[in-house]
Amino acid sequence: MAQRARRIAAVDIGTNSIHMIVAELRNRGYRVVDKEKEMVQLGLGSLDGAPLNDQAIDRAISALEKMSAVARGWEVDEIMAVATSAVREAPNRREFIRRVRDEAGIRVRVISGEEEADYIYRAVRSTIDLDGSTALCIDIGGGSVEFIVGTASEIYFTASEPLGALRLAQRFRLDDRPAASDVEACRKFTARHLKRLQKRIRPIGVDFGIGTSGTIQALSTLTPGAIGITRSALDDVVGSLCDASAKERVEKFKLDEKRAKNIVAGGLVLSETMKILGLASIVACPVAIREGMIESRLRQKRATPEKASSLRRSSVLALADRSACDRRHAQHVARLARRIFNQTRDLHRLPDEAAELLEHAAILHESGMQVSDRGYHKHTYYLIRHADLRGFTEEQLVIVANVARYHRKAAPADDDQNLSELNDAQREEVEKLAAILRIAEGLDRSHRQSVRDVAVRSNGQVRFVVRARSDAGVEIASAAKRAKYFSSLFDKKVRFEAS
């Protein structure tokens, strides 16, 4: 008897809607066998720091109980469930997660905006042929809007902004025929957020736009055109929606009753986005987080444990080559970092696996330079975090990306958004590995491999004995400067000397 295909249910608990797909995994892809959707409006009456209210929680749990029953009916092997903006911001999120686990039998993982963007873009690039182009993907959720800039193989930039349709509909009273002053206030509020993004997106360059989410799918049905949603057609439709009451939007535009209350806010956000970021049109794409979750799980299943290490190394080297990294410099820094790691085990007390992650971060630490020399360490983070690097788990990828991100400039800080994905143990690992990588990178500051090796002696203070093959004064000075973070982190005096 043929073995049944592995089945996975992916559940996306959003601010406005809860979606589930059931998929059968195959060797080179998957097939969706069932879909469920409930517009529960979990964020209704909350958001902006307010707790989820009891009625919204009850609606969500009722929907999740039904979805759990559907998933069990398909005899799924796994239920993956993630929650986004509304739950992420809610002070009572632990209570919500507990009730979902106890009453619906589903374990929910709250994800950051960064991981949300990663799932969305995985789904998009598996559906749309980007053909070497750089795309801006816009996902208008109920609580937040995710912006992702990337190609078929790499992501250059992501941002999560509090511009979701439900959030703005509540804030600016857009659910029923809005006053012109409220519409204008919403546009100005949105524009302030977008102009900050414009400064970061414009240097990258974008060839076309892609829109995901139910809001954009609904707007696309109201703006019929040959290809996607044009800005001029969108503005006409948004104007008509603003002139209509919620009831008239249902009757005239055939919108769902709940969608009708948020559609104006979503339309205004999309309109401002297209105007400020210079998009004449966008392509509406029907996939979203849940499909990206399946893509992510499929990628993980392809890598067998015995092949994972070699897969990781080959995929890292491939990204380094695509990014035109200085391979000799990168590998020399990686070797020096590994040497420091091995000789400071009594200080950092990290497992052996961490040494491999440190090496990968070292090889890729300059990959962001292909985007821009300015602030390239931040571009490096985006490239690694969202690259489809084979053999890595999500947790490993997050650590590598953050270690590479902090090899220069400011040390990790509590308000750094990219750190929100890390638990306490992961953050500690990132801090220690980044401290080591900073010194290793300094020891090849000139990219000439002047430093042949480094020995580390620790007895009260930490001495780095630099073994040079040529004049390494620049390298020693650079490493000493970069070692301030190491000294502070481990509370040790640090000294460098040449042998």
- Which long-range contacts (C-beta less than 8 Å, at least 24 apart) are formed by 218-222? 218/255, 218/259, 218/263, 218/266, 219/263, 219/266, 219/267, 219/270, 219/284, 220/284, 222/253
Packing angle, helices 352-364 and 394-405, rounded to 10: 50
Q: Is 134 within 8 Å of 204 (Cβ atoms)?
A: yes
Residues 6+ apart with CB under 8 A from 21: 9, 10, 32, 34, 35, 36, 290, 291, 294
Fold category of 303-498 in CATH: Hypothetical protein af1432 (1.10.3210)
Distance CA 149, CA 159 (A): 9
Distance CA 66, CA 76 (A): 14
Amino acid 1: pLDDT: 47
Of 278, 281, 242, nearest in space to 263 by CA: 242
Q: Is 190 within 8 Å of 269 (Cβ atoms)?
A: yes
Domain 7-111: CATH superfamily, name plus number: ATPase, nucleotide binding domain (3.30.420.40)
Distance CA 164, CA 144 (A): 4
Distance CA 75, CA 98 (A): 24
Amino acid 75: pLDDT: 95
Q: Where in the chain is the domain with CATH 3.30.420.150?
A: 129-284
pLDDT tens, residue order, the chain (499 aa): 457 789 999 999 999 999 999 999 987 789 999 999 999 999 988 887 889 999 999 999 999 999 999 999 999 999 999 999 999 999 999 999 999 999 999 999 999 888 899 899 999 998 998 877 889 999 999 999 999 998 888 888 899 999 999 999 999 999 999 999 999 999 999 999 999 999 889 888 888 999 998 999 999 999 876 568 999 999 999 999 999 999 999 999 999 999 999 999 999 999 999 999 999 999 999 999 999 999 988 877 765 555 677 889 999 999 999 988 999 999 999 999 999 999 999 999 999 999 999 999 999 999 999 888 888 999 999 999 988 788 888 899 999 999 999 999 999 999 888 888 888 999 999 999 999 999 999 999 999 999 988 999 988 899 999 998 889 999 999 999 999 999 999 999 999 999 7
Task: Label residue 311 exposed, middle or buried (CB < 10 Å: 0-12, 13-18, 19+).
Answer: middle
Amino acid 49: pLDDT: 81
Residue 285's φ and ψ, nearest 5 degrees, are: -115, 130
Distance CA 362, CA 348 (A): 18
Q: Where in the chain is the domain with CATH 3.30.420.40?
A: 7-111
pTM: 0.77
Q: Where in the chain is the domain with CATH 1.10.3210.10?
A: 303-498
CATH class of the structural domain 129-284: alpha beta
Residue 374's φ and ψ, nearest 5 degrees, are: -75, 125
Amino acid 361: pLDDT: 97
Structure tokens at 145: 């809007």
